[in-house]
Amino acid sequence: MAKIYLKKGREESVLRFHPWVFSGAVAQCTGDPAEGDLVDVYSSEGVYLGCGHYQIGSIAVRLLSFCADPKAPDFWELSLRRALDTRMALGLSLSGGSTDCFRLVHGEGDSLPGLIIDYYAGVCVIQAHSAGMFRAKKRICEALKTVLGDNLKAVYDKSAATAPFKAGLDLIDGYLWRADSFQESEIAVSENGVRFMVDWEGGQKTGFFLDQRENRKLVGSLSAGRRVLNLFCYTGGFSLYARAGGAASVTSVDSSARAMAMLARNEELNGFEAGENVCADAISYLSSVPDGAYDLIVVDPPAFAKHRGALKNALRAYQRLNAAAIAKVAPGGFVFTFSCSQVVDRESFALMVFSAAASTGRSVRIMERLFQAPDHPVNIYHPEGEYLKGLLLYVD
Ligand code: SAH
């Protein structure tokens, strides 16, 4: 099929789904389309924009579709290029820079339902949540090689643990591709200049929780001089930012010994002495904390509700946990509270925190509403894609 490349800056109307491409916007046409032929339209940077009917005249193309055709041989390359483009527009970086790790593909938010790809300084970790995506993984891997070029070090498939499908597929995690020189099973990444080790083989999910990047930054900016308690700390995301932000002390709690071991390595990686690191159940730890012992508490539990049926009990558990954190924080303290359960919507979450606050009898104000980081985009027609919600509370 003939290809039409637009002049620089002329893709904007197409990106806003306007179906006309004027001849004055066309920089180049490869192939020799006859009037009425289907042509593919690309931005000046080679990003696929859509497909439509070609005509000689002031309207050169009338677009019929703005989506790449999944049957086309270059579908994956085009889709991944488009996903990467939006991450680059956010100022994220493939190598170097202050942040070299990000979510490259966020399922529905990137018009690729069922596919997650996280990028860690050259290592792509894929999670397929549908049999279709799982079966496409080799093609996805090939397209990643083309789109990321020399930046790519490895592609790891980590679908098995979370796969909601069977389909007689061979569900074993493993490398789809590795550069000859790359044998590591973990890598150091930078997130806003803070360094973390990511272990995609043995860590939880794809190895790291990239969705909290912006919220970690906020914690860092409010930590100076505060005694910080980070509950459900995993490998210390919030803890390290609090340290870098000048916290008076940081206590980190997680029930996973493996996560706590990685936290210790992350402290070292950033040149910090070991903090107070506690491998324990976060809920019982919190109940043993004396009132007023902390000035900033982060509550970032795993999803208590994985499906609708579990919602009621989950909300009760969230409420008890939040009530305890609000009750314990020192006067003038901050509580960062989150839920990553997709079935808990923002309104139920806020109501739950409201009940928790009311049960403590303390004065509690909402200072900020918190979201997943912008490399986890939400398709406007699929609001369920906004799964991470949080509140920053100030407790007098
Ligand atoms: N805040 C983290 C991500 C938290 S993910 C970050 O920024 O990276 C949730 C964490 O809760 C996981 O590390 C898991 O090991 C831990 N966890 C699950 N149940 C727990 C419990 N009952 N007590 C303490 N930690 C728990």
Nearest in space to 87 (alpha carbons), one of 340, 370, 377: 377
Q: Is residue 285 part of a domain?
A: yes
48-54 and 38-42 beta bridge pairing: antiparallel
Contact call for residues 120 and 151 (beta carbons, < 8 A): no
The tens digit of pLDDT for each residue in 215-253 reads 999 999 999 999 999 999 999 999 999 999 999 999 999
Residues 370 and 262 in one domain: yes
Q: Is residue 105 part of a domain?
A: yes
Query: Is the pLDDT higher at 198 or at 15?
Result: 198
**Cβ-Cβ contacts under 8 Å for 110 (sequence gap 6 or more):** 79, 82, 83, 86, 377
Backbone angles phi, psi at 232, to 5 degrees: 60, 55
The pLDDT-based confidence of 305 (bands split at 50, 70, 90) is confident
Q: Which of 23-27, 46-50, 120-124, 181-185 has the lowest mean pLDDT?
A: 46-50
Q: Torsion-angle region of residue 198: left (phi > 0), alpha (psi -120 to 50) or beta?
A: beta
Task: Let me know if 340 is a catalytic residue.
Answer: yes
Residues 300 and 343 in one domain: yes
193 belongs to a structural domain? no
CA dihedral 20, 21, 23, 24 (to 10 degrees): 110
> Are 330 and 370 in the same domain?
yes
Confidence category of residue 325, pLDDT binned at 50, 70, 90:
very high
pLDDT digits (tens, 9 = 90+) for 129-139: 988 899 899 99
In a domain, 196, yes or no: no
When mean pLDDT is compared over 81-95, 361-375, 378-392, the highest value belongs to 361-375
* Residue at 201 is within a domain: no
Q: Kindly report the number of other CB atoms within 10 A of residue 2's CB atom.
A: 14
Q: Is 302 in the pocket of ligand 1 (CB under 6 A)?
A: yes
Residues 88 and 182 in one domain: yes
Q: Say if residues 327 and 293 touch (Cβ distance below 8 Å).
A: no
Q: Ligand 1 centroid to 180 CA: how many Å?
A: 35
Percent of the chain clearing pLDDT 70 (strictly above): 99
The reply to whether 227 falls in a domain is yes
CATH of the domain at 379: 3.40.50.150
Residues 52 and 100 in one domain: no
- For the CA of 216, the nearest atom of ligand 1: 7
Which of these three, 143, 158, 188, is where a domain ends?
188
Among 65, 92, 112, give the residue marking a domain's end. Answer: 65
Average pLDDT for residues 129-154, to the nearest whole number? 95
Of 315, 314, 364, 361, whose CA–CA distance to 335 is shortest?
A: 364
| Overall number of domains in the chain | 3
Per the structure, the complete domain to which residue 183 belongs is given by: 75-188
- Higher pLDDT residue, 320 or 170? 320
287 touches ligand 1 (CB under 6 Å)? no
Q: How far is the CA of 282 from the centre of ligand 1 (A)?
A: 8
> DSSP state, 42?
E
Whether residue 92 is found in the same domain as residue 44: no
Regarding beta strands 123-128 and 154-157, do their DSSP bridges make them parallel or antiparallel, or are they unpaired?
A: parallel
Q: Is residue 72 pLDDT above 90, yes or no?
A: no
Does 134 lie in the same domain as 247?
no
Say which CATH number the domain at 135 has.
Answer: 3.30.750.80
Same domain, 305 and 246: yes
Q: Choose one of 155, 188, 221: the last residue of a domain.
A: 188
| Whether residue 234 has its Cβ less than 6 Å from ligand 1 | yes
Q: Cβ(210) to ligand 1 under 6 A?
A: no
Asked whether residue 203 is assigned to any structural domain, the reply reads no
Beta bridge partners of 227: 249
For residues 18 and 144, membership in a common domain is answered with no
